[in-house]
Each structure stands twice: as C-alpha cells, then as structure tokens.
Amino acid sequence: MVIPVLIGMTLIVFFILRLIPGNPAQLILGQRATKESLEALTSQLGLDQPWYIQYFSYMKGLFTGDIGTSIRTGAPISQEIWPFFIATIELSVVALLIAIVIGMNAGVISAWFQNSWFDYTAMVIALVGISMPIFWLGLMDQWFFSIDLGWLPSTGRENVRDPVTPITNFYLIDTLIQGDFSQLNVVVKHLILPACALGTISMAIIARITRSSMLEVMRSDYIRTAQAKGMRMFWVVYKHGLKNALIPVLTVIGMQMGILLGGAVLTETIFGWPGIGRYIYEAINFRDYPVIQTGILIVAAFFVLINLVVDLLYAAIDPRIKYH
Amino acid sequence: MEVKNLTTSFFTDDGIIPAVDHVSFHINKGEILGVVGESGCGKSVTSLSIMGLVPNPPGKIISGEILLNGEDLTKLPEKRMRQIRGNDVAMIFQEPMTSLNPVYTIGNQLVEAIRLHQKMDKKQARNRAIEIMKHVGLPRAEELIDDYPHQLSGGMRQRVMIAMAMVCEPKLLIADEPTTALDVTIQAQILRLMKKLNENDQTAIMLITHDLGVVAEVCERVVVMYAGKIVEEGDVESIYEHPKHPYTIGLIKSVPDVHMKIDKLYSIPGNVPKPGSIKQGCAFAARCEFATNRCFTETPPLLDMGHGKSVRCFLHETVEDVSYSV
Ligand SMILES: Nc1ncnc2c1ncn2[C@@H]1O[C@H](COP(=O)(O)OP(=O)(O)OP(=O)(O)O)[C@@H](O)[C@H]1O
Ligand code: SF4
Ligand SMILES: [Mg+2]
C-alpha cells in the first residue's frame, strides 16, 4: 500500500511541476544568456528529453537510492536536504508535543469537570484556536513576545553569530550531547514561538476530540466499576478513562501530523526557520525540479510513516484491534 | 448495615425526581436480602447511594442515613468513602460485558483492586488474584489472568467481577441484577456461587433483581420497591405464601410457571409511573384492583405488621392478617 501511494505521489508532483511556466536553464543563466548556452545546459540537465524518459530516469534513480542532484547548485540532494529536513522535523515534533500535552490534558480535565468554568474557558479558547490562521497567529506572537516584550527571538533557529555545531541536526539533542546549556537555552528560546504558533490549531483540535471522547468513555460501566473499587478519581480518569478515549485522539494526531507539516512551511516563512519548506520554496523559485520532487516526496514519505506508526499504536492500545 | 429514611433525588429539567423516597431497611450480618421491583423503581439508585456513587449532578442524597459499623456513609468525606468502597462494601453490576475495562487484562484489574486496599507487592497480589479466581470457580486461572475481557464469555466475566468484588472480603456485597444479562444455565451457576460465598465467607449480600424466582432461590428476606418507595418487606416465605401488598401479589402472579401456557402469562396492567410523578395518593392506585377513593387522595404509610414485616397499603390498616390466595 505504501509504495503505490508514494509512486502516485511522484507522478502527480512530476506533472504539476512541468505545468509551472519558466525554464530552469534560463533562471540559472540569467536573461542575457545566449541561445547556444541555454540549449547546452538544457540538454545537460536532461530537460530536452521527452517527459517519460525524464520520469523513468528519475524513478530509476529513486529505486537505486539516488534521490537526484540539484540543478541550481549541482550538489547531491541527499547532502543538502538533511539539515533542512531535520529542522522541520524538530519544529513539528516540538509543536506536536506541546499540542498533545496541553491539548490532551485540557480535554481530559474539561470532560472530568464538565460544565465547569475550566471546561467553558478551555473550549472557548479551543474554538478560537481552531479558527485562527497560522500566519496571523505567528505574526501576532512575533509582534507581542519578541518585538513588544523582547522576551524571545523573532526569527531563526540559532544565534547566527554563534551557531550550533551540528551532529544530528536536531539542535535540542546536539546541544544536550555537547552539554552546552547556554546554547540549549538559545535553541529553546528560538523554538518556543514558532512551535507554539504551529501547534495551536492541533492543540485545539486535540483538546476538543479528547473531551468528547472522554465524555463518552466516562459514562461507561467500567468507569463505575473502577470507582466502586475505591480508586481515586484522578486514576479512574487517567488510567481507565484516557486509555479508552485514546483511539479517536490518536487518529486525529496522525492527521494533524500532515497538517502540521503543511503548516510548518508557513511558519518557516514567518519565523525564518531554515526548514524543508524554505528549501523547497527556494527550489521552486529556480524551477529546481529534482529538489522540488524529492523534497515533496520525502515529506510525503514521512507522513506515510507517521500513519503507519499510528496504526501500530492502535493495536498497542486496544487489545481488540489485531493486525494480520 | 442500616438505611434510614434515605431520599435520593435527581434534579432534572423536568423537575425533581425522588428516585429513592424515604427508604428504610437493614441488612443483617451474613444475610442475603433481596430487593425487587420493576424497572425504574429506584433499585440501582439505592445501591449507588450506599456506595456514594450517585452521579452528581444531577443526583444527590437529600436526606437520611446509611449506617455501617456506626459510621454514617452519607456524611463521610470522599477520602474515607474510598477506603470503604471495594473494601467494606463491594458492588457488581448488571452488564458483565461492559463492566470490565476492555484495554486492561483481567489480572491488571484484579491486582489493582487488591492493591488499593491491601499492602502487597505486585507478585503477592497476582498470586492472591489467581487464588480468588479459583475461589469463584474460574478454570485455568493461571492463563486466564493474562487474558483481556473480550476473550471471556459473559458468565466468566461475571465471575471475574465477583472475584474482583470479593478480593478484600467485604462485609457487604451489593449485586445489582448480576444475572439479568446471562442465559439461564449461567444464571443458576452465578447464583449458586453467590450463595456459596455468602455461606463460606459470611458476606452479606444485597441482591437486586426484578426476578422473584431468583429471590426465592437465594434470599432470606425481601424488600419490594415501587416508584421509589418500599411497599412491602418481610421474610421470603411469608411474602411468597402470604403476599400482602397488591403489587407484590401481582409480581408473584407474573412469575412464569413451567406448567403455565404462555398466553396465560399474567402481567400487572398499566405502566410503571416515574418516581415522584404521582403527587397524591398511593403510587400504585392506578393499577390496583383493590383501590378505593381514599387511595387516590391519601398516601398510605408503611404499616408495621410485626415479625419484621411491613406493608404500605390501606387494606392492612384495620385487619391484622389479611392475605390473598394467589
Ligand atoms: N442519571 C439520572 N438522571 C435522571 N434521573 C435518573 C438518573 N438515574 C436514574 N434516574 C431516575 O431514577 C429512577 C430509578 O432508576 P434506577 O436506575 O434506580 O431504577 P432500577 O430500579 O434500578 O431499574 P432497572 O431495573 O431498570 O435497573 C428512574 O426512573 C429515573 O427516573
Ligand atoms: S393503598 Fe390502595 S391503591 Fe395502594 S395498594 Fe393498597 S389498595 Fe391498592
Ligand atoms: Mg438498575
């Protein structure tokens, strides 16, 4: 199932790209390039070949582990893309973690104390959160917390004058490995605003779905059984309630991961985050077909992977779900 | 245990429903008390009141006392109540299919019940769980303990529920229609098990049911409830032989008899009124063949008939010992 989906994906991206007007050779060589040099570069890039030959050689490369070479820089994409990709993953994962921890707890407590002031407040905030466009939220965060209050940096991933030495390219992990806590502090400060802006919508959606799922579960007989044992309500809610309420929440989290990756591109633009969104964006400006194709493919593959993990988690949570 | 004048009401959009209305009864040490009545008469709410588990809101204990070893359960703080639940008073429910948590193993849920009240490490608790599973007649306890509820049959799950209720050797076991959802042969097995536990462990049982046949089999005394009130109380034999309240008479008549043809099956005419919907007079008046004008205007009190018997009906006010042949 996974492979056909990804192949379909490459086809779609391949054709959409070629519908975008603009000639890569022209963009590389500039307006004053001669006809001869343009033709030479075009054939060197293989762009004078019919589309099926181009697609075939692209696919052949993929299956032999060669994800292509950038037209613009001439460097293998596998070398270039990694730091950008990891930067996006770091941002998305932190955003998702924030969304899960806060959203899930807000949902659980709202259901536990249904119709309390907490419930009302949390759900109003969630409603506002869902309807908030990311770019607007990002700009407001930026304006308020970094420009107005000056608490947090407004752009980038690190202090450009004192950059992090990358090991894994996950800067949180890298600075921890190096034991450099002042750098870790810098990295965390850079992460907070974009991660919060990116995580807000997911947080709101997770809070709402957790609440409704929990309300349903809390009416179950086994909740009453747990109470009748003399268990503390906190444990009744978190042990017996939450695990049962988790399946729909997990589905939503899986879907959010895709939306989050999309949102990451927007967030990266606003917060100058050197992620894959920015990498692909620059490639689009240069009609750098291989980079665009591969960049999108990698994001898609990651999304598919997340959904696989979610499926496996279902079975781990609910013994009634079995995979053959 | 003694319940005195217990009133539990639900505050709903349609008004206040006194689901349990000035109910008093007691359960002696080691006795099995049957509580019978049609659906909606307040049996479950009575038991949830004892457990302190009435859903609040909308429900609330309005008045009355529930005395257990000199403590009034209605006045205890939640923390003390938690020590009592599952330890002194345990409860099993009607639906064995849904009363166990589907995402945890049987063992996990049994061990949890043990460790909530007893200082045991996981290993000891597991051994105790296996022991109690054997005690309630579960086969292959060592393997079954790692199974999930969906792998068990309804009868086995109810045994697990009983095991879970019995782990701390409670003084009182409240069984809210424990056999209603099971088929007949399994019903008999579960009842026999409860009877055995009652005899061996001296656990008092409050057995809630709408099946008088079940009561006749295992109970010593019976409380009959109607629309949130007790209408008759007494020992099983005298209630079967000489039912006094017209409602009890109807209930006994409607127990199917093996010799009876289906079309002759008796049922009490009319519908069960919602508790509190009848503001005036005897709640049973609309369905009662003996009703007089007075029954529609005055509410009959619960009359003490002596020998631990009482009945809520005007017919028994004057004559000491009227009884009707069934
Ligand atoms: N959560 C609730 N909200 C409002 N009213 C309730 C609620 N639970 C119970 N009641 C009221 O209490 C009355 C008694 O309910 P209860 O569950 O005790 O009946 P029961 O005798 O156990 O019936 P059954 O044989 O169907 O279990 C019902 O008629 C209903 O009107
Ligand atoms: S009081 Fe009247 S209506 Fe009520 S049960 Fe007795 S005879 Fe029937
Ligand atoms: Mg009930």
pLDDT value for A10 = 86
Chain A residues touching B170 at Cβ < 8 A? none
The rounded percent of chain A whose pLDDT value lies above 90 is 23
Q: Are A41 and A28 in contact (CB under 8 A)?
A: yes
Facing A221 at nearest CB: one of B84, B99, B116: B99
Q: What tens digit of pLDDT does each residue of A149-186 get?
A: 878 887 888 877 888 878 888 888 888 888 888 888 88
Chain B residues touching A221 at Cβ < 8 A? 93, 95, 98-99
Q: Which has the higher per-residue pLDDT, B261 or A187?
A: A187
Q: How far is A220 from chain B (nearest CA, A)?
A: 7
Residue B262 has pLDDT above 80, yes or no: no
Mapped onto helix, strand or coil, the DSSP state of residue B230 is strand
Residue B321 has pLDDT above 80, yes or no: no
Residue A101 has pLDDT above 60, yes or no: yes
Q: What tens digit of pLDDT does each residue of A197-221 get?
A: 889 989 999 999 999 999 999 999 9
d(CA A256, CA A248): 12
Span from the CA of B46 to the centroid of ligand 1 (angstroms): 9
* Nearest protein CA to atom 29 of ligand 1, as residue: B40
Interhelix angle for A289-317 vs A51-63, to 10°?
A: 50
Q: What tens digit of pLDDT does each residue of A39-75 get?
A: 888 887 788 888 888 888 888 888 888 888 888 888 8
Interface mutation vs chain A, best among B45, B76, B101, most A CBs within 10 Å: B101
Q: What tens digit of pLDDT does each residue of B274-286 get?
A: 777 777 788 888 8
pLDDT value for B324 = 52
Interface contact A229, partner B, CB < 8 A: yes
Residue B89 has pLDDT above 90, yes or no: yes
Q: Are A33 and A40 in contact (CB under 8 A)?
A: no
* CATH tag for B2-88+170-316 (out of 3.90.1300.10, 3.40.309.10, 3.40.190.10, 3.40.50.300): 3.40.50.300
Give the atom of ligand 2 at the shortest distance from the alpha carbon of B285.
3
Measured CA to CA in angstroms, residue A185 lies from A168, A190, A202 at distances of: 18, 9, 25
d(CA A189, CA A191): 5
Alpha-carbon Rg for chain B in angstroms: 21
Interface contact A221, partner B, CB < 8 A: yes
Span from the CA of B256 to the centroid of ligand 2 (angstroms): 24
Instruction: Find the mean pLDDT for residues A117-129.
Output: 92
CB contact (8 A) between residue A225 and residue B161: yes
Domain A82-317 in CATH 3.30.70.1150: no
Q: How far is A114 from chain B (nearest CA, A)?
A: 10
Q: How far is B154 from chain A (nearest CA, A)?
A: 15
Burial zone of A310 (CB within 10 Å; 0-12 exposed, 13-18 middle, 19+ buried): middle
Contacts A–B by Cβ distance under 8 A? 64
Q: What tens digit of pLDDT does each residue of A3-29 get?
A: 888 888 888 888 888 887 777 787 777
Facing B86 at nearest CB: one of A224, A230, A244: A230
Give the atom of ligand 2 at the shortest distance from the alpha carbon of B247.
5
CB contact (8 A) between residue A229 and residue B164: yes
Which residues lie with the beta carbon below 6 Å from any ligand 2 atom? B 245-246, 282, 284-285, 288, 290-291, 295, 300, 313-315
Cα torsion angle, B110, B114, B115, B117, sign: positive
Select the highest-mean-pLDDT range: A12-21, A136-145, B133-142.
B133-142
d(CA A283, CA B128): 67
Pick the residue from chain A with its C-alpha nearest to B114. A229
CB contact (8 A) between residue A230 and residue B84: yes
CB contact (8 A) between residue B86 and residue A232: no
In the chain, the amino acid numbered B257 is D
The complex's ipTM?
0.87
Residue B267 has pLDDT above 80, yes or no: no
What's the mean per-residue pLDDT of chain A? 86
Q: What tens digit of pLDDT does each residue of B188-238 get?
A: 888 888 888 888 888 999 999 888 888 888 898 999 998 888 999 999 888
Facing A230 at nearest CB: one of B99, B116, B161: B116
Task: Write out residues 302-321 of A within 8 Å (CB-CB) of B.
Answer: 317-320
CATH 1.10.3720.10-classified regions of chain A: 82-317
Backbone conformation region of residue B124, classed left if phi is above 0, alpha if psi is from -120 to 50, else beta: alpha
d(CA B273, CA A189): 66
What's the mean per-residue pLDDT of chain B? 86
Chain B residues touching A244 at Cβ < 8 A? 101-103
Query: What pairing do the DSSP bridges indicate for beta strands B2-12 and B15-26?
Result: antiparallel
Where residue B122 falls among pLDDT bands split at 50, 70, 90? very high
Mapped onto helix, strand or coil, the DSSP state of residue B205 is strand
pLDDT value for B260 = 53
Q: What are the boundaries of each domain within chain B?
A: 2-88+170-316, 93-169
The rounded percent of chain A whose pLDDT value lies above 70 is 99
Mapped onto helix, strand or coil, the DSSP state of residue B129 is helix
